[in-house]
Amino acid sequence: MSQRRNAAATGGAGRSGLIIAIATGAVIVLIIALLVLQEALRYEPGHELPDQGNLHLFALNQPHEPYNSSPPTSGPHMPSLLPPDIYPEQVPDEMQVHNLEDGFVNVQYDCPEGCLELVTQLTELVNEYLAEGEGRVLMGPYEGITDPETEQRHRIALTAWTRLEVFDDFDAERIHSFIDAYRGLDHHVAQ
């Protein structure tokens, strides 16, 4: 009789161990599946453009390969940085690209007929970042903001290294989302 009880007890313990192993395996598979899904669904604002490298130029007028977007998001640029600020005049492409490489985000507008309300809204939003000290945001006018897929002109461009988002109407949430996603991401290639 005691042999039957020992066999029953041993069989029960074996089944419990098997159930625990299967449950543990299922939890591990579920965690891995959720991590893969999270990565697949991760939203990265803006249109991704091919990286055009980070060649340093010796002069603003030095010939170089044309940029693949307007405004540019990577490519040849001057070796110096501009301080975070709101600029009243268009910053040369070759100057703004180095700032992007160093983790800046550029907020630009194109209003040939004027757009005081839009500029005021953008200025207020950008000033929030500039007040933080480090800032890492440039703002200013840019003639020729163009969607890289449709070739259509737009009034607002947000640029980061290899990222461009273009649209026409002020959208604080969209702008904050872009700036917060890319500001501070350094893109220097280790030599």
- The tens digit of pLDDT for each residue in 44-77 reads 899 999 999 999 999 999 999 999 999 999 999 9
Q: Which pLDDT does position 191 carry in this prediction?
A: 42
- pTM, rounded to two decimals: 0.77
Residue ranges of the chain whose pLDDT lies below 70: 1-14, 30, 32-43, 187-191
Q: Which pLDDT does position 27 carry in this prediction?
A: 78
3-state secondary structure of 21: helix
Structure tokens at 164: 């461009």
The closest of 39, 54, 38, 51 to 164, measured between CA atoms, is: 51
Q: Which pLDDT does position 133 carry in this prediction?
A: 75
